[in-house]
Each structure stands twice: as C-alpha cells, then as structure tokens.
Chains A and B, each alone.
Chain A
C-alpha cells in the first residue's frame, strides 16, 4: 500500500452521493464553492435508487392536507422520541424541496389536472390522525430511482466535482475536536489521499447490512457512522431499527408500502385480513413497526403461510391489472423475479425485513453535528455536518413513517449544505492546519490489515455479526437475548480487529474494501446492541418482553424514565443520554399519549 499520502484541498467534501449527498452538493456547487463528492459507487448506484413508494409533502394535490398534520403524524409515528423542532422544520420544508425536485426535472406521476400524483402511505393521516391521506408524491414505484437520477443530473448541470469509486476511511479531527476532512482510498489505484477541507458533510447512508436479512444494498455498511464513532463522536438512538413489513420472503428484496397505499391487503394462512384486529382504523396502513409486529405475532401463533408457516401474504389480486401495471410495475417485476409469482394473479409472500436505521450521527435541524461538551448536551462540532440516513436529527425518533426518508434527505441535505455555506461565508471556517496523527491512524489500520497473520476471515466474521444481530436484536427483543447479545457482539468485535485478506493487490481490491467496511459495520452493531440492552422500555421499533403493555405503561412505554435519546460512544463502549426536544419551532408541543392506529 501507498506509504505516502497526498493532500487535496477543497472548500468542502461530501462523503456519499445518494440523495442527501447530491442535494447538499447542488447547494454548494451553486454557491460556487470548491466541492468534492466522494462515493464508493457511481452516484446513481447509491441506495436511494431503491426507494419505491414516494416522498412525503402536504401539497394537498388530491385532498386537503397541511404540514401541521404531517408533523403530528411524524411525532406520533416516532412514538414521541422525535425532536419536535426538527420535525416541524422538515414538514414545513417538504413542499419547497419537492417542488424544487420537480423543477430539476423529476418525472413525477401526474393527476388529471397536471399536478404531482400523491398516494396514501402508512401512518400519514389527515386532521391529526383521523383518516389516511394521499401525501406521498410518487413516480410509479420507482420514486427513489427517479429522484436520484434527477439529483445527479442537476449536479451535472452545476458542475459538481465527483470522486467516483473512492472510499472515505477516517475522519480527520484536530486537538480542538474540529473536523478538517477525511482520508480516502481511490479504489482503482489503491492510493490514499487526505481531503483537507473547511466543511465535511457526511451523507453515507445507513448500515442495514448489520442484519442477516435486509432490504439494504451491499454497500450499506454504515461507513460514516464507523468513521464518526472511531473519531470520538457519539451515535444517537442506534437501538431503533425499522423492520419493513414487506420484504420478499427468502430474498429480502423490498416491496413498497405503496402497494398497500394502492389497496393491497395483508392476509394470514386463513386468508384473514388480520390488520383489522391490530389497527382497526388504519388497518394495513398503520405505522410500519405496528404492522411488522402484527405479522410476526401471526407467524408466531401459527397462522403463517407456506410449508414452514413462516411468512404472510400481500394480496393485490383484487386490484385492476391496469392499476398494477401503471402504479406498481417495478413491484410486479420484483415479484416475478424474486418470489416467482405474478401479483396480478397470486399474492406475494412477505416477511418483516431490516430496512432503515432511525438513529445515527447526532445533528441539529441545520445539519450541524452536535455532541456533548463541557456539561452541555449539544455543542456543534466545528466543520462537521451530516444528512440523510447516516444522521439523527431526530425526525424519526423510535420509528420512521414511510416516505419521510426521501423527504429527510432532501430537507437536511439542503440545510446541511446551506449551513456549511453560511459557516464558510461568515468566515468561521478556514483551512486549519492538518494534524499528521489523523492520517497515521488510517495508515495504521491499513498496515494492520496488510500484515495480519493467522487472522479471521472477513466473510465469515461479517456473517457472524449479521447472525448475532438478527437473533439478538430483531423485531421483538428479549431481556436475556439482549444481555447475551452484548457479549456475543463484543466477541465478534474482537474478531473484526484481526481480519485478514489474501488478496493484496493494489488495483480495485474489493477484498480490502469489504474488510474496511466491516470495521464500520461493527461500530454500528455494538451501538445497536448496547443501546438496545440498556433501554429498559418498549418504544416504537424497540419492543422488549420485559416491558409489556400495562395500564401504567401503555405499550410498555415509560416516558418518565425513557423519554430521552441514547448516545453511544465507541471508546469504552459507553452510554450517555440527552433530552428529547419537545418544543417545536413555532407551534405548540404535541404531548405524549398512547399510540393507536
């Protein structure tokens, strides 16, 4: 490996070229700042491309809607763990960023009057929770693809500088804790370069690959979270993982909630529409955590389908074939290819599958990374910004509503970009001298991997990690399994520190990339397991057997003791907490109450 490291100076570096990174890049490039976007894959291969159902905005194109209703739904969906200032900010900004996207050329579906087509989605209701509302702006069932390409195309127009197939390795911080850039590996050459910047924006996406069964792409290895954690930044609320109700059984490939938005129904082995029992009002369009738990309960109680009774059916055979072809063509393609059924004629076998990470690098609604310092719980880390799934603002709290993720990456990608520009323009951010030690950390990691003897196999170790997470931190969580899980994941961590690769070539060494990704996955896995074990209540996606539904604590939620955010530090494997922002920006606080759909 290269012993010498060249340094490249930019005003800003954006790590990740999915929706959040590309949205931030538009902001910076339009402002004329020298911006480098680093991505492991060509931008349109980022995982935003796989989003299907839509992006939420209260445009009200087919029925009355209001951002305040959207805000209420998001707070309720978060099981009150979401920060209400960030949620208000996001919901108020939604129309603006979706309209911008349309102006960029996004091929939204259209209503007869020419406006953007909107469909209902889980947990999105009108009039403060009354009945489902069409809020999801969609391009068939390929919204993420259409969005990512539109954002990439806009970046071409504004001449953004891409470093494609480069992997960021470590965050560079100086003695003051300021962030000065990242080290990165150019895959094609194997060269290591330090990007020296005035602003560093992480938009590295989620880490869904910590689970064995996941809708996520291979690249979703939590690189930004690993880099932040190793550099002393805490990770927030990592115990909250969304299991999407409808992954194709066996394959894990996502089937959008938009299928239920268009009228799809979940059925058990008896053909019963079981969601009527769990969510009498919203039924199949209840919030994702509620639907996933209902499905697992059906399966656990013996009403699953198939020879092993281990999945349920998603039925759209009652829909007109034209509707399926028009609104859900991608889903039909996926069903035929990955489940072997044509949904026009037969129901799709589905099972809850790991999908989204609610937690992440703590940010405020301006996109600045914040961490505890000198007794204050949220102090800005100078020069460091984050947006999208890698960040925690926290708009999703303990459970995300469908279509809020595409919205999040637009709103916070833009706001992180704007804030970084302001910080630079106000002269608060100059290029500080680059400390040599940070680059040494990266080189030491690479040297360790290069010279490891009698080490552990990357593939086997990753598999061990994924199996521990799947077994010990799944849809339902158990006290004893969590305690045991903490020990097991720490044992896996030990193995991760001794990974060995056989391939030592310089050029496009994907074995090396996978080993470096595993260093990031393990940080996320530890944060998840430790945070989950520590949180002794049930809330949103985190439901424990020892925190059941009682009159005193409906659904096992304990606001008195646990209405707070978890902060996990890699160093010392330590947990801290900080308060939830219950005060929105302009409207009244939405007080916690029992969550029913």
Chain B
C-alpha cells in the first residue's frame, strides 16, 4: 500500500449560503500513513477550509467526530479508510437538526441525558474517607460508565428519531442504569419513577441499532432491559 486515491461524497449545508443541503463529490490522495477517516477529512479541510465537522482527541475517547459513514454511525477517528466502500458517503448524524455540514445540533440529545439526573445521589453524611465499594460491586459499572456521549447510538435509534423529545434514548438510559447499578447511589426508586412513562423508557423496542453502532462496544439495550426488569419486579 502506498499513495492511493479515495473518493468521497460529503453532505454539505451552510445556512449562510445554501438554500438546501447538497452532496459534494471529492477525490483525495492519501499517504500510506493516513489511515483513519479523520486523517482524510482533516486533509480535505486543508484543501477546502469550508468543510465543517467537529473533532478533538482523535483517539475515540472525546466523542466529537461521530458521523454517519456509509449509512452507519461511527467515529471518524476510529474508522479505517481502507475498510470502507467507495465513494465514502459522509452525512451528519441522522435525526438531529443540522447546523452546518457534518455538525448537528445536539441540544435534544444532551437534554435527554440531563433529564435522567446523571449524578450520584447519596443522602448519608459524608464520610471522612472514600465510600467503600467491593470490587464485585464496582464491576457492575463496567460497560456503563465508559460512554463518551458521542450520540452514535441515540441517533441510530428509530424510537429516538420519532420521539426525541419524549424517549430518553439509549445513551441517556445507559447513564440512568449506570447510577441505578452504583451501590453508592440511593435514588433508585426516584430514578425508576422518572422513567415510569409510556415513552421515556418503554419506547425501546430492542431494535439494537445502538449496540451495533457503539464505538466503545457498550450495550445500551442490555442496560435498558435491566431497568425494565426492575420496573416489572417493582410492579408485582
């Protein structure tokens, strides 16, 4: 593998200039060392500074560069260019309003995350030292706390597309279960009350797109299932 030419089709929309969105075809020479999709997009921007996208850590931990890549949500920095069919079609995350090009308005996504009160609630007097937690209890948080809030999951979820204002979505529900599962948290019943509603939790129809796209390999559907179980057990 040496230098190669790669074809792109990119969603473009600048509200200052464009009446409606359009697709731009671009080809790009990539060096052997330029392996990740983000490397390619950064190079595209060096040629045309109007191409707009978010990016930061370039190692899959900040969650900035989520986008729709050949029809599937993912992080550009973790995606190998050579694994993709050409032309590589890049679109903004589906289901959220587009601000410009690949940049979406994530207000709704974060509002849902905030709605589950994503912070530890514990009413006991603060101990002098750390609260104790066994390694086994701590293990319960694995697969939950690693979420990077990139929104790949929620914007791949049909239930979230239909009801982004009412359905918490996989990312928010994963976070809800992260606190429910934490032995240090004392608000389990309030957290379940907060989700007891035809939409907030129960709009999840286990389509599992969230699991399929999560760049961190997390399983929101499983977490949602556990919340539903708790809800059921509470009811009987």
On whether the beta carbons of B130 and A99 are closer than 8 Å, the reply is yes
Chain B residues within an 8 Å CB radius of A250 = 33
Chain B residues within an 8 Å CB radius of A157 = 117, 119
Chain B residues within an 8 Å CB radius of A50 = 57, 59, 61-62
Q: How far is the CA of A502 from the CA of B17 in the complex (A)?
A: 14
Chain B residues within an 8 Å CB radius of A460 = 46
Q: Mark B98-137, 1 if CB is under 8 A from A, else 0.
A: 0110010010001000100111101000101111111101
A86 adjacent to chain B (CB < 8 Å): no
Number of interface residues, chain A, beta carbon within 8 A:
59
A508 adjacent to chain B (CB < 8 Å): yes
B206 adjacent to chain A (CB < 8 Å): no
- Expressed in whole angstroms, the minimum distance between the Cβ of A507 and any Cβ of chain B is 5
- Expressed in whole angstroms, the minimum distance between the Cβ of A176 and any Cβ of chain B is 37
- Size class of the contact patch on chain B: 35 or more
Q: Mark B146-183, 1 if CB is under 8 A from A, else 0.
A: 10110000000000000000000000000000010010
Chain B residues within an 8 Å CB radius of A108 = 130, 138
On whether the beta carbons of A507 and B130 are closer than 8 Å, the reply is no
Q: How many A-B residue pairs have CB under 8 A?
A: 144
Q: A113-B132, A218-B55 are in contact. Are A149 and B145 (CB under 8 A)?
A: yes
On whether the beta carbons of A219 and B49 are closer than 8 Å, the reply is no
On whether the beta carbons of B138 and A507 are closer than 8 Å, the reply is no
Q: A219-B56, A337-B78 are in contact. Are A105 and B134 (CB under 8 A)?
A: no
A573 adjacent to chain B (CB < 8 Å): no
A33 adjacent to chain B (CB < 8 Å): no
Q: How far is the CA of A110 from the CA of B46 in the complex (A)?
A: 46
Pick the interface stretch among A41-49, A76-84, A299-307.
A41-49
Q: Mark B14-55, 1 if CB is under 8 A from A, else 0.
A: 111100000000000000010000000000011011101111
On whether the beta carbons of B130 and A115 are closer than 8 Å, the reply is yes
The listed residue (B15, B58, B99, B135) touching A110 by CB distance below 8 A is B135
CB-nearest residue of chain B to A112: B135
CB-nearest residue of chain B to A188: B99
A379 adjacent to chain B (CB < 8 Å): no
On whether the beta carbons of B50 and A42 are closer than 8 Å, the reply is no
Q: A44-B63, A99-B130, A102-B130 are in contact. Are A510 and B53 (CB under 8 A)?
A: yes
Q: How far is the CA of A502 from the CA of B47 in the complex (A)?
A: 10
- Expressed in whole angstroms, the minimum distance between the Cβ of B126 and any Cβ of chain A is 6
On whether the beta carbons of A44 and B62 are closer than 8 Å, the reply is yes
Q: How far is the CA of A49 from the CA of B147 in the complex (A)?
A: 11
Q: A42-B110, A115-B130 are in contact. Are A107 and B52 (CB under 8 A)?
A: no
The listed residue (A49, A142, A153) touching B62 by CB distance below 8 A is A49
- Expressed in whole angstroms, the minimum distance between the Cβ of B226 and any Cβ of chain A is 17
On whether the beta carbons of A99 and B62 are closer than 8 Å, the reply is no
On whether the beta carbons of A114 and B184 are closer than 8 Å, the reply is no
Chain B residues within an 8 Å CB radius of A479 = none
The listed residue (A45, A114, A506) touching B63 by CB distance below 8 A is A45
CB-nearest residue of chain A to B146: A142
On whether the beta carbons of A458 and B49 are closer than 8 Å, the reply is yes
On whether the beta carbons of A45 and B59 are closer than 8 Å, the reply is no
B60 adjacent to chain A (CB < 8 Å): yes
The listed residue (B48, B52, B61, B132) touching A508 by CB distance below 8 A is B52
Chain A residues within an 8 Å CB radius of B128 = 99
B141 adjacent to chain A (CB < 8 Å): yes
- Expressed in whole angstroms, the minimum distance between the Cβ of A393 and any Cβ of chain B is 25
On whether the beta carbons of B57 and A115 are closer than 8 Å, the reply is no
B209 adjacent to chain A (CB < 8 Å): no
Q: A146-B145, A153-B118 are in contact. Are A507 and B16 (CB under 8 A)?
A: yes
CB-nearest residue of chain B to A338: B59
Chain A residues within an 8 Å CB radius of B61 = 49-50, 142, 145, 330
Q: Mark B52-84, 1 if CB is under 8 A from A, else 0.
A: 111111111111100000000000001000000
Interface residues of B (CB under 8 A from A): 14-17, 33, 45-46, 48-50, 52-64, 78, 99-100, 103, 106, 110, 114, 117-120, 122, 126, 128-135, 137-138, 141, 145-146, 148-149, 179, 182, 184-185
Given A105-B182, A217-B58, 15 more pairs with CB closer than 8 A: A42-B110, A42-B149, A44-B62, A108-B130, A115-B132, A116-B130, A139-B145, A149-B145, A218-B56, A218-B57, A337-B78, A459-B46, A502-B49, A505-B50, A507-B99
What are 23 inter-chain pairs, A to B, with CB distance below 8 A? A41-B62, A42-B64, A44-B62, A45-B64, A59-B130, A103-B122, A105-B182, A108-B130, A110-B133, A112-B134, A112-B135, A142-B146, A156-B119, A157-B117, A254-B59, A338-B59, A502-B48, A503-B49, A505-B16, A505-B17, A507-B99, A510-B52, A511-B45
